[in-house]
């Protein structure tokens, strides 16, 4: 799926959004939302590429090089390489004007985890990442096999990265994303996992507001309908209309 903002003249500061699970674009009301925000002056012009998944979604999405405890995500490194070495060059070749604005990658659920990992490992290709109800529970051990919070894979990757990638982060959860509560602290795991990942980012020197936006949707569920409702806030954060002289 490819979205181009209407009425381009060729001299705009054009941005790019890559979106995992592009097959959900209609449910997310993506094109409608983009057009409305662009026409009312809320966002700068942005090209969106919705990347449809294959039957191997559970293998292609994840953390590159580190499968989870069920060996899922074994092809995440290949998917990441496809994005960087094949898709991005193809998009740039197809467009009739250069992308001189922001480059962002985003996704929902497991697609959000994938987007975060790809951006984290390729900060020379992306400026920001958005994760809607990201699957940051992705872990090395089963809960019944001696699991510890340190077994969460993305948290560990961030913690062990010596550099501080030049990125901005938009992390969203819904208060009804799930009902699971591993540590019995009366906070659902999706919120705990997201907040703990943000804490890891703090430890790298990232700042709230300046580098990190956390959006918690009251009543939000783990579904496309919820993500469609928060999509406008994400797009305005990622591609705010700038005054051009």
**Which of residues 10 and 153 earns the better pLDDT score?**
153
CATH of domain 2-238: 3.40.50.1820
Judged on CB neighbours under 10 Å (0-12, 13-18, 19+), 209 is: exposed
Task: Identify the bridge partners of residue 214 per DSSP, sorted by sequence position.
Answer: 171
Per-residue confidence (pLDDT) for residue 243, from 0 to 100 = 56
Q: With bands split at pLDDT 50, 70 and 90, how would you rate the model's confidence at 132?
A: very high
C-alpha span between 104 and 146 (Å, rounded)? 37
Q: What is the mean predicted confidence (pLDDT) over 135-142?
A: 96
Domain chopping of the chain, boundaries: 2-238
The string of pLDDT tens digits covering residues 2-40 is 898 887 777 788 999 999 999 999 999 999 999 999 999
| Beta strand 128-132 pairing with 46-51 | unpaired
Q: What is the mean predicted confidence (pLDDT) over 113-118?
A: 98
Per-residue confidence (pLDDT) for residue 201, from 0 to 100 = 98
Answer yes or no: is pLDDT of 111 > 70. Answer: yes
Residue 163: both structure tokens together: 């550099």
C-alpha span between 163 and 160 (Å, rounded)? 9
**Which of residues 245 and 84 earns the better pLDDT score?**
84
Q: With bands split at pLDDT 50, 70 and 90, how would you rate the model's confidence at 97?
A: confident
Per-residue confidence (pLDDT) for residue 245, from 0 to 100 = 38
Cα 79 from chain centroid? Answer: 15
Answer yes or no: is pLDDT of 193 > 90. Answer: yes
What pTM value is reported for the model?
0.95
Q: What is the mean predicted confidence (pLDDT) over 210-237?
A: 98
């Amino acid at each position: 799926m490819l979205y181009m903002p209407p009425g381009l003249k060729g001299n705009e500061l054009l941005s790019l959004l890559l979106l995992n699970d592009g097959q959900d674009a209609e449910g997310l009301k993506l094109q409608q939302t983009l057009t409305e925000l662009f026409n009312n002056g809320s966002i700068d012009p942005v090209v969106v590429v919705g990347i449809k998944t294959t039957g191997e979604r559970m293998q292609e999405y994840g953390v590159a090089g580190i499968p989870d405890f069920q060996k899922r995500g074994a092809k995440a490194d290949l998917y990441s390489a496809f994005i960087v070495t094949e898709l991005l060059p193809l998009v740039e070749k197809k467009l009739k004007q250069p992308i001189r604005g922001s480059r962002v990658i985003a996704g929902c659920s497991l697609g959000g985890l994938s987007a975060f990992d790809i951006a984290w490992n390729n900060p020379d290709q992306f400026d920001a990442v958005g994760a809607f109800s990201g699957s940051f529970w992705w872990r090395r051990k089963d809960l019944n096999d001696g699991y510890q919070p340190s077994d969460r894979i993305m948290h560990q990757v961030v913690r062990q990265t010596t550099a501080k990638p030049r990125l901005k982060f938009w992390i969203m959860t819904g208060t009804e994303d799930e009902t699971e509560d591993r540590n019995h602290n009366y906070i659902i795991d999706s919120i705990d996992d997201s907040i703990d990942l943000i804490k890891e980012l703090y430890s790298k020197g990232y700042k709230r507001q300046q580098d990190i936006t956390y959006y918690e949707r009251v009543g939000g569920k783990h579904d496309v309908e919820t993500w469609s409702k928060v999509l406008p806030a994400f797009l305005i954060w990622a591609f705010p209309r700038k005054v051009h002289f």
